[in-house]
Amino acid sequence: MRVQKQTKRVLYWGITLVLMILIFSFSAKNGTSSAGMSIGYAKELARILSFFGFFQIHSNADLMMHAEVVHTFVRKTAHFTEYAVLGITVNLYLWMCYRMEMLLSRKKKAKDIQRTEEKLQKTVKQKAVVQENVLPEIRNIKEKVTAQESATQETEIARQTVENTEQKMELSIWNFIIRAEIFCALYACSDEFHQYFVPGRSCKFFDVCVDSTGTFFGALLFWGIFHLREQKRERKRQEISKKSKS
Segment 57-109, tens digit of pLDDT = 878 888 888 888 888 899 999 999 999 999 999 999 988 888 777 777 777 77
Comparing CA positions, the residue from 29, 77, 51, 109 lying closest to residue 211 is 77
Across all residues in the chain, what is the average pLDDT? 80
Identity of the amino acid at 44: E
pLDDT band, very low/low/confident/very high, at 241 (cuts 50, 70, 90): confident
Q: Which residues of 195-223 are buried (b: 16+ CB within 10 A; e: fewer)?
A: beebeebeeeeebbebbbbbbbbbbbebb
3 has pLDDT over 70: no
Q: What distance in Å separates the CA atoms of residue 119 and residue 44, rounded to the nearest whole number?
A: 74
Q: What distance in Å separates the CA atoms of residue 33 and residue 204, rounded to the nearest whole number?
A: 19
Contact between 183 and 90 (Cβ < 8 Å): yes
**pTM of this structure:** 0.72
CB atoms within 10 A of CB 158: 17
Q: What distance in Å separates the CA atoms of residue 230 and residue 32, rounded to the nearest whole number?
A: 47
Contact between 46 and 57 (Cβ < 8 Å): yes
